[in-house]
Amino acid sequence: MPFPDLPDRLRDVRDRIDAAIRRGGHGQAVTIVAVTKTHGPDAVQAAWNAGLGDVGENRVQEAVPKMDVISAPVRWHLIGHLQRNKVKALPRFELLHSLDSSRLADAVGEVGLAAEHPINALVQVNVVGEETKGGFSREQWSGEAERLHGLGGIRVRGVMTMAPLVADERTLRLAFAGAREAGDVFRAAGHAATELSMGMSNDYEVAVEEGATIVRLGTVFFGARPA
């Protein structure tokens, strides 16, 4: 059986999340997304068998073949950068985490209108201004929140951010608290932006302390990704 220690790892992660919720004092419910990118369909099945109903993939072209062979009713999350020529696959996903530009938002909105069902999406925000990461800067949040409010075909469910991979705790907290502020901006503009997707295997406890409602965990469950 692949990933035989996954149930034990999941119990440990859930205990750590519960403790982080208590420390942070936000009292939120937290959804765990098992990141199965670069792993085969057996990782998706193992996640489901262990009690994880949400799985995350970085690329449409990797996710779709897995969707076609997995019968378990998992909820698929697209967590990586989305190219505009791949947006037609979005109705197969529960949630897009990486709405990172106005041009992408326009393309996603067209798909939602054509499908007659809005695409659930999180707006990616770049809190600390990392040049290697996409997303909207702090100066853009208010304007894009207003623009998206008038754009059909998209339902903004919240925001997503990624902290720097190598960062001290102060930088992590700045990034995560900033994303929480971004959520406030989008709610003030009329969006039901209740979700806050942030935190990966190396920093999810700090993210939960800062209010994360979704964490994206791969290595902690499945080990290092295949080369």
Q: What is the pLDDT of residues 59-99, one digit of tens each?
A: 999 999 999 999 999 999 999 999 999 999 999 999 999 99
Give per-residue pLDDT as tens, 23-41.
999 999 999 999 999 999 9
How far is C-alpha 90 from the geometric centre of its chain's CA atoms? 14
Residue 129 binned pLDDT confidence (cut-offs 50, 70, 90): confident
- pLDDT for 169 equals 93
pTM score of the predicted model: 0.95
Architecture of the domain spanning 6-220: Alpha-Beta Barrel (3.20)
Q: What are residue 33's DSSP bridge partners? A: 216
Q: Residue with structure tokens 């971004």? A: 182
